[in-house]
Structure 1
């Protein structure tokens, strides 16, 4: 297929798929969530263990990654599958190495592993596993919704479900990806024109279970999704019940988020459009800021410090996200890996042979 034919095919694919056209509400939702990702990673670094910061941490981690994965499912496609997976592989290897170098420079390197992605890198490996399931989701959508729900809730019974190969998180969060792929666009459409009072009440209702998780002292390990039930020290039946409740709570929060996001353009829209660069790069700034943040909030100023920690972390998260979503930064992070992945895919994908029409004059001879 010639480059021109390839461009025309991609343009036809985008026209036939309404979600390929940029949706401001989708980008704003991604912008809100990537801010929460940065904010959630800043909070533990300030060195405080108090009610307000723990409440913010619990609320964020109970739904922000499930919601982010749900949105990833909406935009997932089986077309150019090799190119998409190659892009994730390139980013995973490159940024795993970059984070190793960065942490080695500050004297706190992690143990290098090809099978256990470091820190935020688990998401890229999980994206590879989820993307591989997209053709099956498109072929058997309702079946995969049911299967993924059972797998996600019961994944903790598997003795090998842990951080290796991001298996535990891939299985636990898979239902959000599948539901996003199958029903995400419809849910966005259904929540587009809800009245204001419905949006506000929906957010209030969704917040109550999140608050209950904090009051109940939910272990953060449950929210990470990275360990099996043995690791979390619960029996299988109890673990299945807890995981089912956490899954339902996260889905309720996702629905509230879809209802809350407005249809408008603004800074959050840009941050959402370029959330990949924010996700991959914000860890470097957090590593650099950690000593200063911990020292600043170590003076012991009581409740004022709690409020100040949350407020300053929020502003810092916004500043980091805005800086890392600039067009040049996003281009550097996204374009070279995509071009390299396209080149790899072209080598691995069989090319169409050019069809030469028969020559009537030659046949006559």
Structure 2
């Protein structure tokens, strides 16, 4: 679902790139750490969507739901920002932004529209490019964030500026729903932090003391969420509404934005500190998280439209909640596999060479210092 990772994170300083001999190009080496992080995060996304219908009758489910929602999308967005560092307006990168983000957005917005009309028996539901439905908001946001990357590289204090924008958005009810701009602006600080991060920052997260401290931090987060479950509206974690729309006083906008930002960053660090660095059985699935993300939405919404959680009361029992979690993890795992990627690549990663003008090759110059690979969602080598 997210850009392909660069070479393995290392503490060693970057070395100049060696010229590749003609006809001996090699595929870019994927970093197991980031593929592992993306897979584990998409599993949490699927579990969170599966827990949502259970939260009304289970305080424990609501606590886990709030804890996961505090960090799973911030983690994805931070990683997306990290791999967008080299983005500029170069034609080939703009082309890949269109084919890897904009085109899947249009295709799945259309697919979700027809699915809602059929599954929810709502023939009047209209297709809209400006009003993302359900999961497509992230593609719209990623398209906007990535286009603004040169600006964040230019300004002197990008993170404080992004936080100020998020705070102002939280108290601006007139922003409207076009392209889900509330989410675009309120989640913006996580993308900008990713842009500002370096490889050594991920090395710091892997230190033993960070990993040990992350355990009580996660435990405290679950306990606080358990206490807050009956007292707090979980919609705060979606970042899609202003405080006025949440029926809260204006002063809560800055307070909640900054407080949730701090909690989310803490849990993101805790999560990443435990992500394995070596290749695991699920590492290969990290290249297909966009597939799992967009495709599991049909089942997640279909389960509500078809009343599965109302029809089967046992799903609301502890064993049922565990079963729902395991089923969600298994389904999204299957949707990330290479066979599914091959089946839906035409929609997720279309080449579309016919749609773009051929640009003249860039003149060969002396070797330039190493930069991170082009940020892109592709799983191709």
Q: Same fold (TM over 0.5)?
A: yes
Helix, strand or coil for the counterpart of 1:104?
helix
Please report the RMSD computed on the Cα atoms of aligned residues, expressed in angstroms. 2.8
Counterpart for residue 283 of structure 1:
297
Counterpart for residue 267 of structure 1:
281
Are residues 108 and 62 of structure 1, via their aligned partners in 2, closer, same or farther at CA, if it must alter by over 3 Å? farther
Counterpart for residue 184 of structure 2:
170
- CA contact 1:33–1:67 (8 Å) conserved in 2: yes
2:78 counterpart of 1:70: yes
Counterpart for residue 361 of structure 1:
none
Per the TM alignment, residue 213 of structure 1 is displaced from its structure 2 partner at its CA by: 3.9
What's the TM-score once normalised by structure 1's chain length? 0.81
Structure 1 stretches lacking a partner, 5+ long:
1-11, 356-365
Counterpart for residue 95 of structure 1:
108
Q: State the alpha-carbon separation in 2 of the partners of residues 30 and 250 from structure 1.
A: 17
Query: Which structure has the highest helix share of the two?
Result: 1
Counterpart for residue 122 of structure 1:
137
What's the TM-score once normalised by structure 2's chain length? 0.78
- CA contact 1:66–1:176 (8 Å) conserved in 2: yes
Counterpart for residue 4 of structure 2:
none
1:104 to 108, 117, 126: 117
1:333 to 344, 355, 366: 344
1:245 to 259, 265, 274: 259
Flag the structure with larger Rg: 1
Counterpart for residue 8 of structure 1:
none
The CA deviation string for residues 258-295 of structure 1, in whole angstroms up to 9 with x for no partner, is 21112122233223221010001011222344447414
- Structure-to-structure mapping, 1:1-365, within 5 angstroms: 21-45=29-53, 49-76=57-84, 77-79=86-88, 80-87=92-99, 88-109=101-122, 110-140=125-155, 142-183=156-197, 185-192=199-206, 194-195=207-208, 198-209=210-221, 211-216=223-228, 217-290=231-304, 291=306, 293-295=308-310, 297-298=312-313, 305-334=316-345, 337-340=348-351, 343-344=354-355, 346-347=356-357, 350-351=359-360
Equivalenced residue count is 331
